[in-house]
Amino acid sequence: MTVGIHARRPRTHVTGAASAAVRPVLEAPRSPARVLAVFPAGAYLEVRTELEPSVLAVITGAATRLPNSVLLAADLPRVTVGDEAAVGDGSVELGRLSVRARRWWDPAPPLGRVDPVRLRQAAPRLTPGEPGLAGNDAIELLAAGCASGRLLSAVTAAERLVGLGPGLTPSGDDVLAGLLVTLRHLGAAAGADRAVWLADWLAATVTYDARTRTTPISATLLHCAARGEASPEVIAVLRGIAGRQELEPARRQLRRLGHTSGSDLLQGISIGLDTVLAMTEAPSPVLVPEAPRPVPAPEAPSLTCAMSVTA
């Protein structure tokens, strides 16, 4: 049974590498997709699927290896926004190309165990530069809520930040992504179960309606971050904090990403690090919602979260 998505044209078969996060989407039955945006070194494809990531970044050369990327071993085909494409049955069909993965990389490599003392040493060296939302009160609320373990403040702030700011990946989303990835990885590495627990709640909050609250690419990246998946630049900073590589070069490299994306991610990482530190200092902080309030059920997302993080 073959259902043509559009008229079949002769395809050039090429290969490449892909983030393991996109494997389920790639191996699912073929679904139609559409070109969302095109850059010199890549294109974003929106796939009609319930799976996440639902937006794939098809990239070449030195483009950032986002956790939802398929990296081509060839030049990017000539495509324009709105072009039809297809993803599934093991390949991505884009323009004249049909792409298969010959290598998989782990977008959420575990950090191993890390001594909280090391984290404390790293904290002051994590200056984020000039984040897009510097001084925004939602950021302050998020930082304060996380550090003090006040779940309601944290969740409220996170809700306000989703989609906040201009661009394809609004600053608010980048801060949240940096925070989520940090809580997951450093929380697990430092044995701060509370941090991972907080990550589960925040993940549930931000992914709940991300698809309607922010751009499709940013929503997908939030879903990835909720599972601890990030680009190598972010992972490198976390490795730097954990003392597994030099922190400063990694920090500088991350800062160079996008217009403010790098700084925003760093701001999120910094908030995450402070939170993990606070939660290892006080092993059982009092986590009481200040007032009764409905929060999205964390069960479903937290399950995937737990599976994707191995201490």
Q: Is residue 306 involved in binding other proteins (CB under 8 A)?
A: no
Q: Is residue 109 involved in binding other proteins (CB under 8 A)?
A: yes
Q: Token pair of 188, please? A: 């697990």
Stretch that binds other proteins, among 15-23, 136-144, 204-212, 276-284 (CB under 8 A): 15-23
| Number of Cβ within a 10 Å radius of residue 156 | 19
Please, are residues 206 and 160 in contact by the beta-carbon 8 Å criterion?
no
**Shortest distance, position 70 Cβ to other proteins, whole Å:** 9
**Shortest distance, position 122 Cβ to other proteins, whole Å:** 17
Q: C-alpha dihedral over 280, 195, 130, 223, to 10 degrees? A: 160
State which of positions 211-240 bind other proteins (CB under 8 A). 232, 236, 239
Stretch that binds other proteins, among 95-103, 137-145, 170-178, 215-223 (CB under 8 A): 95-103
Q: Is residue 67 involved in binding other proteins (CB under 8 A)?
A: no
List 5, 11, 17, 37, residue binding other proteins (CB under 8 A): 17
Q: Is residue 106 involved in binding other proteins (CB under 8 A)?
A: yes
Q: Is residue 98 involved in binding other proteins (CB under 8 A)?
A: no
Stretch that binds other proteins, among 49-57, 70-78, 161-169, 258-266 (CB under 8 A): 70-78
Stretch that binds other proteins, among 98-106, 147-155, 165-173, 270-278 (CB under 8 A): 98-106
Q: Is residue 244 involved in binding other proteins (CB under 8 A)?
A: yes
State which of positions 111-130 bind other proteins (CB under 8 A). 111-113
Question: 3-class DSSP state for residue 14?
Answer: strand
In the complex with other proteins, the residue whose CB is nearer, 16 or 228, is 16
Cβ contacts of 125 within 8 Å, gap of 6 or more: 247, 248, 251
Q: Is residue 20 involved in binding other proteins (CB under 8 A)?
A: yes
Q: Which of 29, 66, 67 is nearest to 47 (CA)?
A: 29
**Shortest distance, position 305 Cβ to other proteins, whole Å:** 17
Q: Is residue 184 involved in binding other proteins (CB under 8 A)?
A: no
Please, are residues 222 and 202 in contact by the beta-carbon 8 Å criterion?
no
Q: Which of 165, 200, 155 is nearest to 294 (CA)?
A: 155
Distance between CA 25 and CA 236 in Å, rounded? 26
Per the DSSP assignment, residues forming a β-bridge with 88 are 91
Burial profile 104-130: b = 16 or more Cβ within 10 angstroms, e = fewer? ebebbbebeebebeebeebeeebebbe
Q: Is residue 253 involved in binding other proteins (CB under 8 A)?
A: no
Burial profile 191-219: b = 16 or more Cβ within 10 angstroms, e = fewer? bbebbbbbbbbbbbbbbbebbebbbbbbb
| Residue ranges that bind other proteins, judged by CB under 8 A | 15-17, 20, 23, 71-73, 101-106, 109-113, 232, 236, 239, 244-245, 310
